[in-house]
Chain A
Amino acid sequence: MIRRIWLLVTCFTLVAVLAACAAPVPPTAAPNTEGQPAEAATQAPAADPGRLTVLCTPQEDWCVALTQAFQAETGIQTNYVRLSSGESVARLRAGKDNPEFDVWFGGPMDGYEVAKTEGLIEPYVSPNAAAVKDTLKDKDGYWTGVYVGAFGFCSNKEVLSSLGLDVPDSWDDLLDPKLKGQIAMAHPATSGTAFTALWTIATLQGGDIDKAFEYYKKLNNNILQYTKTGSAPGPMAGRGEIAIALIFSHDCVKFQKEGMTSLVTSFPAEGTGYEIGGVGIVKGTQNLEASKKWIDWVLTGKVQEIAATVNSFQLPTVPDAAVPPEAVKLDTLNLVDYDFIASAAAKKGITERFDAEIAPAPKE
């Protein structure tokens, strides 16, 4: 019996020691010690050129499809972590001296502008970026647009009709007292989607932040919950837990396609916001060549067409990618003049104020 205990302890210790073996070589002053421990380390993020870690912001299945395809095509071992836009910037900030990611893919351009200002991403002008319109990329090459999407209302028509309401087509419709606890959006600290909504409203108020906050305060009375991820309110509406989700319209179409048939997309007549999903190289990456390859690769038509295979119906940014029929028709919408340079500069202030005054505040 006793022997068995020791056998067990020894076994476990052996496993522990083996796993730890990768570790204990302390990094010396010379920076180039990767080669030695990396062989034993199955998990260590050593800088061998055949590796890429993607910080991925869109829907998880898109991240999966892209990283798998990239790995199959290039042989570069590709891994991803899915984080929302706000979380991504926070993570990049946390790892600024010693980045754990190589490229950042997806998420609205406001986040990329913040990352650019804070020195978290570095410029790279891909030869393939020439095909992308100038309005869809950073003039200094820090980020390049990979998709475009419009913000919208994603409503459950059954819940709406049980409340005696029509599908909303105005920002004011959202303030109806009948909708108390029937709307959800994400938290702007973590989600770029939510920030797009806030900035759209601010733009419609003529850039008057105080007036925008008056609107958020009224809207807050009807909000059930602020979620972590931008698209998360969609399934809540799909399951009939809320009437209206404030999300990007392509995500609403995705959830419809995947079986949430009560959902219907609509847009505010006063004007709606949009996102240019970006891609950029994380500053200080140790896998620069692989990172550049990733950027060149996602700016090709066939790669942008992968999105529609996993029900992500954003508009592609390169002309030779086929536009899926489910994608939003931008020319039918009233788009606000979304100034993402100004929005990035105002992001921290708005988010913090929202987080302090609106999100945790009790409802009236």
Chain B
Amino acid sequence: MVSGSINRRLNEFRRIGADWTLVSGLLLVVVFLGVGIVYPLFKMLGVSFTAEALSYYVRYFSSPVYLGILWNTVKLGLTVGLLGTVLGFLFAYVQVRVDVPFKRFMHLMALMPIISPPFAVATSAIVLFGRGGLITYKLLGFRYNIYGFTGLTAVLTLSLFTVAYMNLQGMLRALDPSLDEAATNLGASKWDVFRTVTIPMLIPGIASSFLLLFVEAIADLANPLVLGGDFTVLASRVYIAISGEYDIFAGSVLSVILLVPSLTVFIVQRYWVSRKSVISVTGKPSGKPTLITNPFIRWGLFGLAMFFSLLILLIYGTVLVGAFTELFGINYALTLRHFQFVLFGLGSQAMLDTSKMSLIATPIAGVLGMLIAWLVVRKNFSGRGLIDFISMLGIALPGTVLGIGYLLAFNRPLKIDNTILLPALAGGNAIAGGTIALILAYVVRSVPAGVRAGVASLQQIDPSIEEASISLGADSATTFRKITLPLIRPAFLTGLVYSFARSMTSLSAVIFLSTPYAKIMTAQILNEVDAGRFGNAFAYCDILILLVLLVIGFLYLVVGTTTGVERDFGVSL
């Protein structure tokens, strides 16, 4: 028994050893995951369980104020998860099942949040719907207090619902219409079909959207900082602890407290809900779905979706106009001075640094994502599941948690006795001015999307094509390069596009890592918003959106055609 299992292991090692592509690929991935995720995470956990840190747990869990903050965090996650899923479902349903005009416009509006920096919606919402807001006060004449739970929930829902939209849209499209037909033939009304066929089939998708939104909402840092009011959440507490006090114990302990619900929900989503799927995708669904014809429902849904689309348009329109406005809300004179600051003033350094680092991170994340997907789907070795899981942590860990891990792991050289194993990677005096830690963080945050797209795409491709290549004498590397990679090109493109957009717009994971030599655009936007220089903030947002669009356009041009890619772009999570 025992010797048999040892033998099996030995055989496995021999088999892996014989395949040098597998060995080098595996080695690369293991080193990347080890340095980029496991080591910083353990470093952070290590600090959070020192004797000094333990007293913080006692303090936090015995204080009604901190229990309130914990509850606030959960409440925010639940509400945004619920509302975001409902909004995402509305957009997806209208897109797939209702015959109305302007679908393309609604689709584009729903995608806007992916490419926009985290402050765009919040800042716009303040000048439009705040106490002195253009709509609430100037137009309707009342002073609405946007700071706090309601405003925060609304802004987060509008910023995050895209995940739910893409998720549910993909599922709705994959639903086999013959089921609907069967139900209708058996005498069910449209409502019955919706209630007893469509919704039950979508339950896994709805649940997983809800859970993903929950994780993203409780991890969000930007919006609570700008709009929190007296509604305090864990992420902003972590930020104050590090940025205001450099109290690494408080930061680590709060991170662990934030980590527990995020990771639990993520694991439930990943290993339970997503396995419950009742949809079997065996190819293209047969026939066309029956569209909603009842005019009340049809135009009612249209009206709702259109309302939210126009709201998003208004919000981003404000971001655009606000950048050309002297002082939005007070003085609407046109000006170019905000753009001058961002493009040619000292504000330009942040723009250049962030773009450079994102451009370096993008191809690395793209190739690593495909490599991990290929290893996980096509290769057979122990620890496959573990590699898949750890790579997904890049997105499952709240950004602030990762950021503190990096701060603790990379601010000093890693030494054993007096030999330096790893020089300091983060901080102004680290090698390359701290850019390496930042690029690593970008890669870690973007790899999961590439992995998921790659896995989904590889599972659709029959391995016999690759086997044929091997039989004809090509080695693993040649097969990966000449057969696999071209076949999963759309997934590769998804990985690249997502990775660039993600890197340019991320804040929470990198805010502690910014240095005088590597300035982060989103951190600069936070400064501008916080200091009330909304014009500069809007100009930064516009430039950032423009840069992301330009690079995405360039990637489409070089890597692929637009057909089919868009679909992949969305189902990447």
Contact = CB atoms under 8 A, between A and B. Distances in A.
Interface of A: 1-2, 4-5, 7-9, 12-13, 15-16, 19-20, 22-27, 29, 37, 41, 43-45, 53, 59-60, 64, 67-68, 79-82, 86-87, 90-91, 93-95, 97-101, 181, 187, 189-190, 223-225, 227-229, 231-232, 234-236, 238-242, 255, 258-261, 351-352, 355-357, 359-363
Nearest to B66: A360
A5 B230 contact: no
A37 to B, nearest CB: 8
Nearest to B424: A98
B429 A43 contact: no
Contacts of A53: 428, 516
B230 A27 contact: no
A59 B536 CA distance: 14
Contact of B492 (A5, A86, A94, A190): A5
Contacts, number: 208
A91 B246 contact: yes
A45 B516 contact: yes
A215 to B, nearest CB: 18
B416 interface: no
B242 interface: yes
19 contacts: A4-B559, A16-B363, A24-B431, A25-B431, A26-B423, A43-B433, A45-B429, A64-B346, A80-B346, A81-B515, A100-B428, A100-B429, A225-B229, A228-B225, A229-B527, A232-B532, A240-B132, A360-B69, A362-B230
B132 A19 contact: no
Contacts of A86: 244-245
B99 interface: no
Q: Which of A9, A20, A67, A228 has the most CB of B within 10 A?
A: A228
Contacts of B479: none
Nearest to A14: B363
A99 B429 contact: yes
A225 B412 contact: no
Contact of B346 (A68, A229, A363): A68
Interface string B143-176: 1010100000000000000000000000000000
Interface residues of B, number: 78
Contacts of B534: 235
B485 A357 contact: no
A187 B532 contact: no
Contacts of B137: 240
Q: Which of B367, B423, B532, B533 has the most CB of A within 10 A?
A: B532
Nearest to A65: B346
B435 interface: yes
Given A19-B432, A234-B532, A236-B532, A355 B559 contact: no
A4 B492 CA distance: 13
B483 to A, nearest CB: 10
Interface of B: 59, 63, 65-66, 68-69, 126-127, 130-132, 137, 143, 145, 147, 225, 228-230, 232, 237, 240, 242-246, 326-327, 329-331, 345-346, 349, 356, 359-360, 362-364, 366-367, 407, 411-413, 418, 420, 423-424, 427-429, 431-433, 435-436, 482, 485-486, 489, 492, 515-519, 526-527, 530-534, 558-559
B68 A26 contact: no
Contacts of A363: 230
A224 B427 contact: no
A2 B558 CA distance: 10
A72 B356 CA distance: 27
Contacts of B246: 90-91, 93-94
Nearest to B349: A79
Contacts of A229: 527, 530-531
Contact of A239 (B127, B225, B228): B127
A27 B413 contact: yes
Nearest to B514: A81
B330 A45 contact: no
Given A8-B363, A13-B363, A60 B486 contact: no
B145 A224 contact: yes
A238 B244 CA distance: 26
Nearest to A95: B427
A360 B424 contact: no
B364 A16 contact: yes
A363 B148 CA distance: 12
Nearest to B137: A240
A267 B396 CA distance: 49
- By Cβ-Cβ distance, the 4 closest A-B pairs, closest first, are A100-B428, A235-B532, A240-B132, A189-B244
Nearest to A182: B131
Given A45-B429, A238-B330, 19 more contacts: A15-B359, A27-B420, A37-B431, A43-B518, A53-B516, A68-B346, A90-B245, A98-B424, A100-B516, A101-B428, A189-B245, A190-B240, A227-B530, A234-B532, A235-B534, A241-B131, A259-B330, A356-B63, A359-B232
